[in-house]
Amino acid sequence: MKGKGIIISFISILTTALIIYNCSGGGNSSNFSDAASKVYVAPGSYDEFYAFMSGGFSGQVGVYGLPSGRLFKEIAVFSQDPETGYGYSEESKAMLMTSYGFIPWDDAHHPSLSMTAGEHDGRWLFINGNNTPRIARIDLRSFETEEIIETPNSGGNHASPFVTENTEYVVASTRFSVPIINKDVPINTYKENFGGTISFISVDKNSGKMNLAFQIIVPGFNYDLARPGKGLSHGWAFFTSYNSEQANTLLEINASQNDKDFIAAVNWKKAEEYVKQGKAKTMDAEYYRNYYDEEKQTAFSEVNKKVLVLDPKECPGMIYYLPTPKSPHGVDVDPTGEYIAAGGKLATVIPVHSFSKMIKAINEKKFDGEISGIPILKYDAVIAGEVQDPGLGPLHTEFDGEGYGYTSAFISSEIVKWKIGTWEVVDRIPTYYSIGHLMIPGGDTKKPWGKYVIALNKITKDRYLPTGPELTQSAQLIDISGDKMKLLLDFPTTGEPHYAQAIPADILMKNSKRIYELEKNKNPHAVKSEKETRVERSGNVVRVYLTASRSHFKPDNIEGIRTGDKVYFHITNLEQDWDIPHGFAIKGLNNSELLIMPGQTKSILWEPKQVGVYPFYCTDFCSALHQEMSGYIRVSPANSNVPISYNK
């Protein structure tokens, strides 16, 4: 009898819980325990996917696991990182050089994985800096930034850095048109003086080295997003634009007048031919390319002074405008390459263009006039279909490879699933709140991995414990393996996640670097054994060549430094064991600590201003005797005779 009572009360508790849950409207995950088991990655087990999410205004890239949503690493890209010394250390400072000087921050938007044959190959990750136009390349063996190239003749590098089918190019364009070449003109001369550019940056297929191959001068609209074609449409790239009104003030009203703006369709293979034929003009420009030399473990800058520019007026057949309602934002190409879906931000439908209709329309010259040598194709001649009732403010579309598109709708905070070909909406799910981009693993490739869609939300409001006025950003993991989308998990992200990419873990794991081999360390300031450690003075520059190993620095007692000296610490981590970094910090260091990986050498400048004895220590808990891993430096007055000395 007692047992029965317990069962009955259990059932009633369960029922009550279900009722409460169903009334709370917590968000469409029909069964919490079911959802929990789908995102649970047991301690010591690995996630199925790596996800790379833009850090937005943090300037970095976050590396997460899916389906758990766990954060593994923030890769320092455009912003200085005091945790590792990136952008502070002597070796890495050059990475953040631009034609505007040293810029320690940017607004990172769109991570893009490199591709081979239209599929993610796991070699590199590219990401744009929106503010000071740049593109970075991250090496996915080391998860470190290896190269940053500036794009000249650009303002707001937003439509970037989307990758062609075999990573022939990453593309870029101007969100904010500017005078090309930039000059001092009244802002209200926008229509005469302002222009846009579309840039193609080639990527060396072995080294990954980026080179600004050519730019196309285009009318001064705001080019917003891009997607190269694939499969059928390989050889083309598509760029959305808004502000075809060419307004220069109060754009929210003045750039929302026209019923249709444009998608620019660029035949880049044709552009390559024109470059080969010498149709490109050489224009003066100044832009930096910064690269990290892995052997020297040092970043270097090269300054480029010329750029090849193509003018559509002189290059027929290279670029066309596809009229597209209304201030379109995203432009996304389905896995076959036939369909080009636009996120008509202010439109009431999702217009989907057909690539083969576009080619036919070009051949049959179904034009509606032209702008600056760019023919405008007739809307009816290129449109494949319109998704009706797609939610308010459709922005971006990803594909599952099963015949469906998934579009984010910002204003109505939802994801809308629609069928390619019939254009009917088959499912929709709310997001919390104000979704921007969305991402399906491989959802921009010829063969999506599918399984999940991630909502990248702009606003979280009441979803998490409040943390003052500034709240966390957020992603939501949604199961798309069945007919109905199911919300599985909310997880916070750092910075503002714009776009993201995901790739099966086993593609990257096997190549992940563990150490830097000491033998290959060609840093000019490396010391390979304690025997080589030393302190050298030359004028007021002192170089301290230190080694770090568990659990001491060598040398650890240094004298003969004077106020006003420039002291460079060059520290080599002699360890060759995985996961044994050492840190370095000294009292009064004005820049940042260093985190030095096994076999790596890093350098930092310290300028002592006051006499005294300064402790330094290892900041990364390395061993049981980590607390002992420390030393002292004696700083004497500027005119002192204390000679340089150190323990050998």
Partner 1 sequence: MKKIISALFLITLFVNACGGEKTDISSGDSAKEKLAQKFGLTSFEYENGIGPVKEKITLGQIDMIKSKTGEKIFTEKCTQCHKLDERYTGPALRDVISRRTPEFILNQILNPEEMTKRHPEVKKMLAQYATQMTFQNISEDDAKSILEYLRSVNK
Instruction: Using CB under 8 A, count the residues that bind partner 1.
Output: 22
Nearer CB in complex with partner 1: 344/555: 555
15 binds partner 1 (CB under 8 A): no
Residues numbered 146-205 forming contacts with partner 1, rule: CB under 8 A = none
Which residues are CB-contacts of 249 (< 8 A; sequence separation ≥ 6)? 187
Indicate if the alpha-carbon torsion angle 418, 424, 428, 434 is positive or negative: positive
Nearer CB in complex with partner 1: 503/518: 518
Indicate if the alpha-carbon torsion angle 18, 19, 22, 25 is positive or negative: negative
Residues numbered 511-550 forming contacts with partner 1, rule: CB under 8 A = 515, 517-518, 528-531, 547, 549-550
Residues in the chain: 648
Least Å distance, CB 548 to partner 1, is 9
596 binds partner 1 (CB under 8 A): no
Nearer CB in complex with partner 1: 458/554: 554
Contact yes or no for 330/498 (Cβ under 8 A):
no
Which residues are CB-contacts of 465 (< 8 A; sequence separation ≥ 6)? none
Which residues are CB-contacts of 23 (< 8 A; sequence separation ≥ 6)? none
Coil, strand or helix: which one is 344? strand
Which of the ranges 72-80, 218-226, 339-347, 620-628 carries the binding residues for partner 1, by CB under 8 A? 620-628
Q: Which residues in 612-625 are b (16+ Cβ under 10 Å) and which e?
A: eebebbbbbebeee
304 binds partner 1 (CB under 8 A): no
Nearer CB in complex with partner 1: 1/42: 42
Least Å distance, CB 556 to partner 1, is 12
Quickly count: other Cβ atoms within 10 Å of residue 260's Cβ. 18
Direct distance between the N- and C-terminal alpha carbons of the chain, in angstroms, rounded to an integer:
82
486 binds partner 1 (CB under 8 A): no
Q: Which of 166, 256, 336, 551: binder of partner 1 (CB under 8 A)?
A: 551
Nearer CB in complex with partner 1: 357/626: 626
Binding characters for partner 1, 412-451, by CB under 8 A (x = yes): ----------------------------------------
Least Å distance, CB 235 to partner 1, is 46
Nearer CB in complex with partner 1: 402/628: 628
Bridge-based pairing state of the strands 383-388 and 374-377: unpaired
DSSP line for 629-643: -EEEEEEE-TT--PP
Least Å distance, CB 299 to partner 1, is 25
576 binds partner 1 (CB under 8 A): yes
297 binds partner 1 (CB under 8 A): no
The structure tokens listed for 67 are 């389906």
Nearer CB in complex with partner 1: 346/515: 515
Q: Which of 45, 482, 624, 639: binder of partner 1 (CB under 8 A)?
A: 624
Within its chain, how far is the Cα of 127 from the centroid? 3
563 class by beta-carbon count within 10 Å (0-12 exposed, 13-18 middle, 19+ buried): middle
Torsion angle defined by CA atoms of residues 243, 245, 251 and 254, in that order, rounded to the nearest 10 degrees: -140
Nearer CB in complex with partner 1: 406/516: 516
Nearer CB in complex with partner 1: 434/547: 547
Contact yes or no for 533/548 (Cβ under 8 A):
no
Least Å distance, CB 625 to partner 1, is 5
Which of the ranges 44-52, 139-147, 575-583, 609-617 carries the binding residues for partner 1, by CB under 8 A? 575-583
**Site of interaction with partner 1 (CB under 8 A):** 515, 517-518, 528-531, 547, 549-552, 554, 574-578, 580, 623-625
